[in-house]
């Protein structure tokens, strides 16, 4: 079983977000660090169980809850192993409040963790 250090919350560069549930913890940050309206960006994610074991990233998506529309682009996910992932091809095409949805599988359970991001 991988040691806790295999699933660090620190993504480097001293910034990023952490979301968690009873079963999973996800640390992530955008690349480039500043999300600009209409500009493609990626997410670097470390996906862990609460016991600090690597977990699986199933999907990443985003929507604007007020307007009930999603992105015009579908991100793809590439695994770097040991709970590390890169989601590529996200575009927030309007300013405002976006809800980022991160679907994670830990063991046999899949759950959705969400995080709000406001872009101006």
* Residues near another protein (CB under 8 A): 37-38, 40, 64-69, 71-76, 88-89, 91, 93-96, 120
- Nearest approach, Cβ of 90 to another protein (angstroms)? 8
CA distance 100 to 75: 12
CA distance 81 to 6: 10
**Terminal-residue alpha carbon distance, the chain:** 43
CB atoms within 10 A of CB 14: 8
Nearer to another protein, 8 or 70 (CB): 70
Nearer to another protein, 51 or 67 (CB): 67
- Nearest approach, Cβ of 51 to another protein (angstroms)? 34
Nearer to another protein, 95 or 107 (CB): 95
Question: 83 — alpha (psi -120 to 50), left (phi > 0) or beta?
Answer: left
- Nearest approach, Cβ of 73 to another protein (angstroms)? 4
């Amino acid at each position: 079983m991988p040691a806790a250090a295999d699933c660090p919350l620190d993504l480097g560069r001293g910034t990023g977000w952490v979301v968690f549930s009873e079963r999973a913890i996800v640390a992530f940050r955008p690349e480039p660090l500043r999300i600009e309206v209409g500009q493609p960006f990626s997410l670097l994610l470390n996906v862990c169980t609460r016991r600090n074991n690597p977990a699986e990233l199933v999907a990443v998506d985003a929507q604007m809850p007020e307007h009930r529309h999603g992105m015009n682009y579908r991100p793809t996910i590439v695994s770097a192993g040991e709970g590390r992932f890169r989601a590529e091809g996200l575009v927030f095409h309007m300013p405002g409040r976006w809800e980022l949805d991160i679907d994670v599988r830990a063991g046999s359970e899949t759950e959705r963790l969400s995080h709000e991001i406001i872009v101006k």
